[in-house]
Amino acid sequence: MSTVGILYPGYSAEDDYPRAERLLADGSRLPLVHSEMKVDAHREDALLDIGGDDVLAEAAGRVAAAAGPLDAIVWACTSGSFIFGPEGAARQAAALEEAAGVPASSTSFAFVDACRRLGVTTVAVGATYPPDVAAAFVDFLTHHGITVLTVSARDIITAAEVGTLPSSTVLEFAAAVSSDAPGADAVLLPDTALHTVEVLDALDERVGRPVLTANQVSIWQGLRLAGADIDRPGLGTLFRKG
């Protein structure tokens, strides 16, 4: 049983985390606090602001105060980590780890580590972001040895709007992204504003290969860092160790 603190910017798909917590089955907890988001926009200046070290350190203090001792902590924001570039994102995670006093990571690195766990080297990316932000994610993946065969950018500016997309749209989007890259090892849906926890198994079944989603990999990474990386049904291929 582990406790993984989740730092989540704004309000969009934060309810994915209590949904996932109910599926963990071993009593592990995913306490969540909302980190400061002055402007809800998939835009470089806004993303650099929400991922600042002071913002994350303040939120880390709040989640620890509310939840008690943590075993790990995750900055559950993909765009608010990769937008700093590979080196900047690494510094961000290191600063969060120092502030929290427990192992720390971000969703961007969770995607890289999840791909490595599954032996994934080629991917198709289905981003809800504008094209320039999606391109920064591609650069991040490429830096870490992951080849992006295709990228689809839906050009949605706010996380709040992404959070309103229904499960049927998520499934259709993933299927369309997959069809554009039949040779990809996996499909990546990188926005933590996208609700996916309720359809993780359905995504893998619909696409016929692993679909890695932002909230899924964030949870997996936190549990892995906390030493609770075990087989967990109902959360997609990534959580099945067999």
Task: Look up tokens 């939840």; give the residue.
Answer: 67
The pTM assigned to this predicted structure is 0.96
| Domain ranges, ordered by start, for the chain | 4-110+216-239, 111-213
Instruction: Quote the CA–CA distance of 121 and 74 in Å, as a whole number.
Output: 24
Mean confidence (pLDDT) of the chain: 96
Question: pLDDT (tens digit, 9 = 90+) per residue, 185-196?
Answer: 999 999 999 999
Q: Which CATH number fits domain 111-213: 3.30.420.40, 3.40.50.12500, 3.90.420.10, 3.10.310.30?
A: 3.40.50.12500
Instruction: Quote the CA–CA distance of 81 and 63 in Å, as a whole number.
Output: 19
Question: pLDDT (tens digit, 9 = 90+) per residue, 7-34?
Answer: 999 999 999 999 999 999 899 999 999 9
Domains 4-110+216-239 and 111-213 equal at CATH topology level: yes
Task: Look up tokens 């990474």; give the residue.
Answer: 221
Instruction: Quote the CA–CA distance of 53 and 152 in Å, as a whole number.
Output: 30
Dihedral of CA atoms 50, 41, 222, 240 in degrees, nearest 10, equals: -170
Domain 4-110+216-239 belongs to what topology? Rossmann fold (3.40.50)
* Residue 41 pLDDT level (bands cut at 50, 70, 90): confident
